[in-house]
Structure 1
Amino acid sequence: MPDMMPGFALTPVSATALFTAACVAGVQYRRTWKADGPLWQLWVYGLIAAGGLLALAFLPLRP
């Protein structure tokens, strides 16, 4: 499969940091949701978690 964006890949360290940030945002989303917190916080945490996981899914990892 051809590389669509040459030179644009995640390193293992950046992928780990992105995964950790997405997990923390997901936990904060759940805590805010369970506590009936403000909707803007749900949007912020949800977008961070979704964006991080989508980036991990679709960006290649550098060996």
Structure 2
Amino acid sequence: MTVADDWRAGVGCNFKGFTDKDLDPGKKNADGVYVRLQAKIGETMFKAIQAEEAPLASDKVL
């Protein structure tokens, strides 16, 4: 489900997962219920961050 532009949420259940200390050290593929929130980081997000930042005093040209 898309929550907002560049944000996605999901809920589900993995009935047949796997665990392996080398391939899945965080146990993200184990069986069970999961909730996910994902953000797409791209050019639009960086432009929004840049627009919010105020210029430093040393950046001003006299």
TM-score interval (norm. to shorter):
under 0.3
| Greater C-alpha radius of gyration | 2
Greater RCO, CA 8 A, separation 6+: 1
Whichever structure has more helix as a proportion of its residues is 1
TM-score scaled to structure 2, two decimals?
Answer: 0.25
Query: TM-score w.r.t. structure 1 length?
Result: 0.24
